[in-house]
Amino acid sequence: MTIPKERHYSERVGWLRAAVLGANDGIVSTASLVIGMATAGASLTGVLTAGVAGAVAGAMSMAAGEYVSVSSQKDTERADLKRERRELAANYEAEVEELSEIYVGRGLSYALAREVAETLMHHDALAAHAREELGFTSVNRARPLQAAAASALTFLAGATLPLVAAVLALPGQLTVIVALGSLLALGLLGGLSARIGGSRMTTGTLRVVFWGALAMVATGAVGWLFGVASV
């Protein structure tokens, strides 16, 4: 009988983190920028220009930041694997013993732990130590390009929502429409990401809505102050 492969929530953590972060930042930063410009008294053209420029700059910044950050993680992984190769070449028996002790610590008898360690290292010594000693798995492996692309694309997708709301808003209602539309989008995003990640949807929704609202209020206040000062 063939046992079907189980799918775990943790397998999504790499792309999910980057995607949620990108979309959340796209909505919050662009909506906040639009609201700040609007409360400062800028024209619709000025508001949209600032919003689009902010969206493009934010997407590039997110991509660069994710790429650099995850690349640094990947460099660290490579350095650890290089050192592990040297240790295996210099003293293979000590590495067998080290892996055995790991399994003993997890509850196996020494004899069984030794047998397991020898079997796994005969198959692929480096992979065995990378997984058991260093904690490297296919789930948490660093993927710089994937993280950068996910962040940039989802940032732009998120930034599009407040910009469309600004275009569709009736005169005098831009701030309210952008704020409400963006908070609704943040709530849906928080609930969806929580659902995909296997956590409580209510918690995920309230978390992103609270911080999004706080950011919009802060930038709206800044825009209003500058608008009053320029009168």
DSSP string computed for 184-210: HHHHHHHHHHHHHHTS-HHHHHHHHHH
Token digits of residue 97? 């013993």
Kindly state the percentage of the chain with pLDDT values over 70.
Answer: 87
Would you call 91 helix, strand, or coil by DSSP?
coil
Q: Each residue of 106-117: pLDDT tens digit?
A: 888 999 989 988
Cα–Cα dist 212/210, whole Å: 5
The 10s digit of each residue's pLDDT in 153-194 is 999 999 999 999 999 998 889 999 999 999 999 988 888 777
- Residue ranges of domains in the chain: 9-230
**pLDDT at residue 11, rounded to an integer:** 47
**What does the pLDDT read at residue 176?**
93
CA 141 to each of CA 37, 68, 73, 101, 204: distance values in angstroms, whole numbers, following the listed order: 41, 15, 9, 25, 25
Residue 52 binned pLDDT confidence (cut-offs 50, 70, 90): very high
Average per-residue pLDDT in the chain? 84
pTM above 0.85, yes or no: no
